[in-house]
Amino acid sequence: MIQKATPFSYGRKPSDYEEGMRHFSKKRWDAALQSFQAVDASNCTETEKAEIAYYLGLCYTKLERYNDALLYLEQVVTGNVSTLRVCQCRLTLAYIYAITRRAKMAEFELDRLVKSGVKSVQIYTMLGFSAWAQKEFDRAVEFYEQALEIDQTNTTALNGLGYILVDQGKDTKRGLELCKKAVDRRPQNPAYLDSLGWAYFKNGDTGEARNFLRRALDIAPRQKEISSHMKTVLGNDG
């Protein structure tokens, strides 16, 4: 059996790093974070330091400590590390910026990836989300369409494109069909159920709209957007 090489495969193998990787593989983010923080950086090469920074950034991301994550991920992006690691970090940076509503910064990181020749469904769906967050709906549609050209079964792209088409009145019938496909593949996803409920409402079927919005609220009762959609549907009934 050929063992996969890591930055620590040859010579010294810091036990704290190994413990961190063990916890990380088991999704024990707090324990992994503590182990990686315990590695003595003074005894590490620059490559090893970058690798530790990468995993610290991922741990902080998983723990939703985004400002801490940004510090470490930026170290990797600006350091002399492999192109693959830089791409992985830019994608994670874009994710953090997107979910913290810094759409322009997310788009900057994603554009850098596209210009470097990296193209994937995940990049295009994130670009679609960033464009939507900036209310650039036509651009969002283009990005989601590009994602579906790569993978026509991708649920994020199906849901994102479907929601925009119905919400903006661009093509409510096609939007409904796309939202149905997303829910068929991920029937317990509250965001997808919400989109499908909204799509039915936009197509004039308030009964099915209530049904799917209720299912979405049962799973995610504190989601304000789902509650807002339900109030609109119920108000329309009245």
**Boundaries of every domain in the chain:** 15-118
pLDDT at 102 over 70: yes
Under 8 Å between Cβ of 151 and 121: yes
| pLDDT value at residue 5 | 39
pLDDT at 12 over 50: no
Task: Point out the least confidently predicted range of 18-32, 113-127, 175-189, 208-222.
Answer: 113-127
Average pLDDT over residues 96-121: 86
Long-range contacts, stretch 141-146, CB < 8 angstroms, 24+ apart: 141/165, 141/170
Average pLDDT over residues 210-234: 95
| pLDDT value at residue 238 | 47
Task: Point out the least confidently predicted range of 13-17, 66-70, 153-157.
Answer: 13-17
Please tell me what DSSP assigns to residue 101. T
Rounded Cα distance between 90 and 76, Å, is 9
pLDDT at 201 over 80: yes
Helix (H) or strand (E) holding 42: none
pLDDT band at 8 (very low <50, low <70, confident <90, very high): very low
Burial grade of 42 (CB within 10 A; 0-12, 13-18, 19 or more): exposed
Under 8 Å between Cβ of 87 and 118: yes
Under 8 Å between Cβ of 216 and 223: yes
| pLDDT value at residue 106 | 87
Please tell me which residue, 140 or 44, carries the higher pLDDT value.
140
pTM of full prediction above 0.85: no
pLDDT at 161 over 80: yes
pLDDT band at 6 (very low <50, low <70, confident <90, very high): very low
Long-range contacts, stretch 102-105, CB < 8 angstroms, 24+ apart: 103/130, 103/131, 103/133, 103/134, 104/130, 104/134
Q: Give φ, ψ of 67 to 5 degrees.
A: -65, -40
Under 8 Å between Cβ of 170 and 179: no
pLDDT digits (tens, 9 = 90+) for 46-63: 888 889 999 999 999 999
Average pLDDT over residues 181-193: 97
Rounded Cα distance between 21 and 33, Å, is 10
Percentage, residues of the chain above pLDDT 90: 66
pLDDT at 160 over 80: yes
- In the three-class reduction of DSSP (H, G, I as helix; E, B as strand; rest coil), residue 163 is classed as helix
Instruction: List Cα–Cα distances, 174 to 161, 198, 213, in angstroms.
Output: 9, 13, 19
Fold of the domain built from segment(s) 15-118 = 1.25.40
| pLDDT value at residue 74 | 92
